[in-house]
Structure 1
């Protein structure tokens, strides 16, 4: 067999794993050295991922699988551990490694004053390793192992500043809420094991079984919906979205990594990786489409009323992930590829926006956009690159977000889904509106009271520039009417016609949102301070009170049950144990008093015993 880079794809996750082990062994003393070790490992992974991606450009879409390690062999059932390279995960490898490398490079400046900087880079390396292992997994059990490891790493990084109560609470919330979704995925794996011919769980066998119709539609729908529940948890879809905005308590570079290329991307990737199951179950596709559409609009409206710069971007991520799920729910080749295309472009402009927000926070030490203003003149690189990211997110031509969002909206019309198209268009309007609000209040208008803001160092601005370029050019891989990416992902020629109505409407929605946002907030920071807390604005600012509803309906009753069970444990269970203990101790102490060593006492006890025995014997005969 000819040599290929793909057959050594296992090296890609190995580099960050070695970085994690080295940094853990070095401890806190590593400091700057540890930061560069983590960054170098991410760069090596990116180089190898890029080589594999280029190798796949000229080849077919067929998967290449290496499963050399027999992991389990029980009762005739064998499970191998290995890796598989497809066009889909070759693209994901480039996304994850490139964003991870840029986040590591940026973090050298952002985290430079943190005493636990080497620990931070160790955690980031473990996080990257986990996501890369998930991407190249050859079977769904192996994917699930890395899926859970990704959850553990998010817990460690969201709660990195563990001395802050908010960070600890956010880490626990993320871990617990995503576990709800993970239960669904776990049950789906059990059903697959039961239903699959030969109990095979590798992705090739799953593809063959569901494409060949070997699994009935009802069971396929149940498995697909359970898998989607797992994706809902990881990708922050309604109703398991509440953990994602709170995750902003972690360091900003981690917010960029989670939102652009790792944890939340894992949910969309899971649906794409098991897409054969969804295509065999039209009901499941409907669930995916409508949950995605609702989440896209729901989160976009919430972002309008948030004031924390990172939380606005967090709800933006929830909304954009909804777009991706919406597209996947169409069940078509173009819908699938449009969702992946949006995942691809979103990774770059969302990483850019979060790192840009981090640059602002690094300069002004604030996160409330109402307390900022006039930063354009003081932070030109950050301001320009952030504007590029905002325009790409708004979906304005010719930025990357326009091409991928347009592909989703066009497929919605082509699939005969006017309602979903309308929801997507309205969400696009809100996206442009809240990003204009954010940009105007932060970078334009009058300066805030803090006049000491300055541009971030080169190690932080260089990743912004690279991501800014990608946020402009990455959309050109898939022109309307010439879907190169779609054809490459599927390994076949896919025809698509440019829909000029969609192009014009999507740009009109973006321009309308930008114009309205500038009219409302263009007078600067003071306009933002006059926002009221009542009415619909109060509802949006409080996120439709979803957290409060969960607290009242789920958390409080469970706490009450916990208090009741605790009282039962203390007063009933422990009470019986303590009663038996006290009785035993009492009898023992009484016995001690009889063991005095005095003959008279023993004689008296013996006499009393004989009298008692006689009374009992007489009573038995009498009665």
Structure 2
């Protein structure tokens, strides 16, 4: 059956779109570029849908499907094959990536219609989809690392898409450098896996672990901690989160693609895929949980006071990814992946909705200059409202089910889990507050725009149709997984501490759900008091808590702290110390040495070339003697002896009568 799946088409189709637009797009009409850009991701989604239909008809016991296309590396005992794998987790991730990814491609046709480099944008977007599908389909660490690095490259190209903006170029470089730090940790983890398991194949490693391989807990911990560094880089967790807010410099659909369905979910996916390693490393699991809870709360506090609509959503993404890390840290992998799915729906909707607002406001992103857009952008307004309800955890929207599952799992994960539960609960209240703040400031009240001649307008249907589809998924997406998700993924990542079905039947879990909804409602209520109608309450609150407000507004000065501790010293070393060594010693010093050698050589040659015949004759005799001496020494070294026998010398007869004598 596997030969009929044609899994290789899933990544290859977007790659073909990248090649066509990348090589020919400059000379093609815009309509042709759009057709290529949309057709190949849609075809990839169709292949995924077909595979899913075949997939649901088979018994879970015969999974995963592993398709070995060729040998890749054969070096001594190391044998790595080019293997694509399909199981429940893979098919879920592929459906999210290609489905939501296609909607973002469709939205981009309208959003980027008047931008320079239209063909270049879509070639990069297709390339991003190619690498992300490779990452998810990979059957071993090495192929995953190819996709892992590839999405880093594609994100660098897309974040820095606006070539004429220094801010975009700097943001792209920042994302690239920070992710290289995380990728180094990931690579070290891969080396440790290879050294201890003598294989990089995910499923072979699982079999070794389950067969009681005798590998120590310390080894699992070391591997797990290295993998966590890689996951923190890709999924923007403390301390490597700083690249994601600056990634807003790219086009808004790029933000939706990176934040919702692709790059930032890679770290969560990698942890879920390698859960058998983390299950045997309690310290690594606790580290994941603590990082996740701390990041969720930290990013939510920063999001409270941001005024750029995209930057609010950026910190929201960091916070929601923290929830996913928290779930993985308490071994609730299916709850984390469940939230990954629902988050893809409502976060893509939020970013695309923000893009629709920015499009209607002629590229204005400051919420303080918006307001009153409900009448001008009705479809955008109400679709975004669905997403706000979903991310805030208001039932029965999608985010309620997945976030509630994570909090319930954390509460029942021991004493540490209970502490992290309360951190997650507080974060839920903050999330509800800043998301309703965003919606009120953008769509309600009177317009605060300084450009009174400008009239905001609704986006074209190429942009609104994806909003409507994502709004439906944000409403209904939670019901898709409710009571089924843990069972669906249990063959891959095992059962969670408490499944959603069990959580819905117990009184404790019901109480936890009521508390979570009450906290979310409290956040909504506070936002309603401060921002529903024009008043000075928010200003008075900011003034009375000026210190805290300034701390949050400046994002805890983390960027400045990183610059002082890491960037400035490295810049000083590279510019002055290494620059002095490179320029002063290596370049100038080597030039001085070469010049000295040339001068000395010239001086010696000048003395030799005196024009005196007797001097030349002397040098000639000396040279000949030196050559003879060298020949004798060389012959002696080779064991060649030269014998002189006088008896063998022919006598010379001298004729006194010869002429001249």
The 3-state SS of whatever aligns with 2:80 is strand
Query: Structure 2: where are the runs of 5+ without partners?
Result: 620-661
The alignment covers a number of residue pairs equal to 595
**Cα distance, 1:569 vs. partner?**
2.4
Partner of 1:37: 36
Asked if structure 2 preserves the Cα contact closer than 8 Å seen for 1:35 and 1:104, the reply is: no
Asked if structure 1 preserves the Cα contact closer than 8 Å seen for 2:412 and 2:418, the reply is: no
- Given candidates 535, 541, 552, the residue that maps to 1:540 is 552
C-alpha change, 1:33 and 1:525, in structure 2 (3 Å) is: farther
Partner of 1:549: 561
C-alpha change, 1:527 and 1:159, in structure 2 (3 Å) is: farther
Q: 1:424-448: per-residue Cα shift (whole Å, max 9, x none)? A: 1100000000011111111111113
**Cα distance, 1:581 vs. partner?**
2.3
Provide the rounded CA distance (Å) in 2 between the counterparts of 1:138 and 1:336: 19
Partner of 1:583: 596
Provide the rounded CA distance (Å) in 2 between the counterparts of 1:77 and 1:35: 44
Q: Does 1:239 align with 2:246?
A: no
Structure 1 length normalisation: TM-score? 0.92
**Cα distance, 1:523 vs. partner?**
2.7
Provide the rounded CA distance (Å) in 1 between the counterparts of 2:554 and 2:306: 9
**Cα distance, 1:9 vs. partner?**
1.6
Q: 1:75-125: per-residue Cα shift (whole Å, max 9, x none)? A: 142110020001001000000001110010000000001121111100000
Q: Does 1:219 align with 2:219?
A: yes
Structure 2 length normalisation: TM-score? 0.87
Q: 1:129-160: per-residue Cα shift (whole Å, max 9, x none)? A: 00001101011111011110110000000001
After TM superposition, list the pairs within 5 Å mapping 1:77-226 onto structure 2.
Answer: 77-196=78-197, 199-214=198-213, 215-226=215-226
Provide the rounded CA distance (Å) in 1 between the counterparts of 2:583 and 2:226: 39
Partner of 1:455: 458
Provide the rounded CA distance (Å) in 2 between the counterparts of 1:36 and 1:525: 49
**Cα distance, 1:219 vs. partner?**
0.2
The 3-state SS of whatever aligns with 1:183 is helix
- Given candidates 523, 527, 532, the residue that maps to 1:522 is 532
Partner of 1:67: 68
Asked if structure 2 preserves the Cα contact closer than 8 Å seen for 1:441 and 1:528, the reply is: no
The 3-state SS of whatever aligns with 1:516 is helix
The 3-state SS of whatever aligns with 2:116 is coil
Asked if structure 2 preserves the Cα contact closer than 8 Å seen for 1:213 and 1:280, the reply is: no
The 3-state SS of whatever aligns with 1:82 is strand
Partner of 1:23: 21
Partner of 2:297: 297
The 3-state SS of whatever aligns with 1:496 is helix
Provide the rounded CA distance (Å) in 1 between the counterparts of 2:534 and 2:56: 48
Asked if structure 1 preserves the Cα contact closer than 8 Å seen for 2:342 and 2:477, the reply is: yes
Provide the rounded CA distance (Å) in 1 between the counterparts of 2:77 and 2:285: 35
Partner of 1:53: 52
C-alpha change, 1:593 and 1:96, in structure 2 (3 Å) is: same
- Given candidates 488, 494, 502, the residue that maps to 1:496 is 502
Provide the rounded CA distance (Å) in 1 between the counterparts of 2:200 and 2:535: 56
Partner of 1:477: 480
Q: 1:531-561: per-residue Cα shift (whole Å, max 9, x none)? A: 5594111111111111111111111111222
Provide the rounded CA distance (Å) in 2 between the counterparts of 1:121 and 1:529: 43
Provide the rounded CA distance (Å) in 2 between the counterparts of 1:418 and 1:222: 26
Asked if structure 1 preserves the Cα contact closer than 8 Å seen for 2:503 and 2:510, the reply is: no
Partner of 1:427: 427
Provide the rounded CA distance (Å) in 2 between the counterparts of 1:58 and 1:549: 55
Q: 1:392-445: per-residue Cα shift (whole Å, max 9, x none)? A: 111111110001001111111222322111011100000000011111111111
Asked if structure 1 preserves the Cα contact closer than 8 Å seen for 2:369 and 2:447, the reply is: no
- Given candidates 354, 357, 360, the residue that maps to 2:357 is 360
Indicate the larger mover: 34-43 or 443-452: 443-452
Asked if structure 1 preserves the Cα contact closer than 8 Å seen for 2:21 and 2:119, the reply is: yes
Larger Rg: 2
Query: Structure 1: where are the runs of 5+ without partners?
Result: 607-623
Provide the rounded CA distance (Å) in 2 between the counterparts of 1:406 and 1:377: 34
Indicate the larger mover: 494-503 or 455-464: 494-503
C-alpha change, 1:14 and 1:427, in structure 2 (3 Å) is: same
Asked if structure 2 preserves the Cα contact closer than 8 Å seen for 1:252 and 1:355, the reply is: yes
The 3-state SS of whatever aligns with 1:69 is strand
Provide the rounded CA distance (Å) in 2 between the counterparts of 1:527 and 1:32: 50
C-alpha change, 1:588 and 1:393, in structure 2 (3 Å) is: same
Partner of 2:571: 559
The 3-state SS of whatever aligns with 2:503 is coil
**Cα distance, 1:602 vs. partner?**
7.8
Partner of 1:507: 517
Asked if structure 2 preserves the Cα contact closer than 8 Å seen for 1:299 and 1:315, the reply is: yes
The 3-state SS of whatever aligns with 1:545 is helix
Partner of 1:250: 250
Q: 1:17-73: per-residue Cα shift (whole Å, max 9, x none)? A: 111111122131232311221111111111221222233334344211011301111
**Cα distance, 1:496 vs. partner?**
1.6
Provide the rounded CA distance (Å) in 1 between the counterparts of 2:99 and 2:538: 36
C-alpha change, 1:329 and 1:58, in structure 2 (3 Å) is: farther
Asked if structure 1 preserves the Cα contact closer than 8 Å seen for 2:70 and 2:81, the reply is: yes
Asked if structure 2 preserves the Cα contact closer than 8 Å seen for 1:370 and 1:525, the reply is: no
Provide the rounded CA distance (Å) in 2 between the counterparts of 1:282 and 1:208: 20
**Cα distance, 1:597 vs. partner?**
7.5
Partner of 2:266: 266
Partner of 2:629: none
Partner of 1:389: 387
Q: 1:474-497: per-residue Cα shift (whole Å, max 9, x none)? A: 100233xxx211101114886623
Provide the rounded CA distance (Å) in 2 between the counterparts of 1:527 and 1:165: 37
Indicate the larger mover: 139-148 or 449-458: 449-458
**Cα distance, 1:502 vs. partner?**
1.4
Provide the rounded CA distance (Å) in 2 between the counterparts of 1:311 and 1:471: 21
Provide the rounded CA distance (Å) in 2 between the counterparts of 1:524 and 1:209: 63
Indicate the larger mover: 57-66 or 530-539: 530-539
Provide the rounded CA distance (Å) in 2 between the counterparts of 1:99 and 1:601: 93
The 3-state SS of whatever aligns with 1:8 is coil
State the Cα RMSD in Å. Answer: 2.1
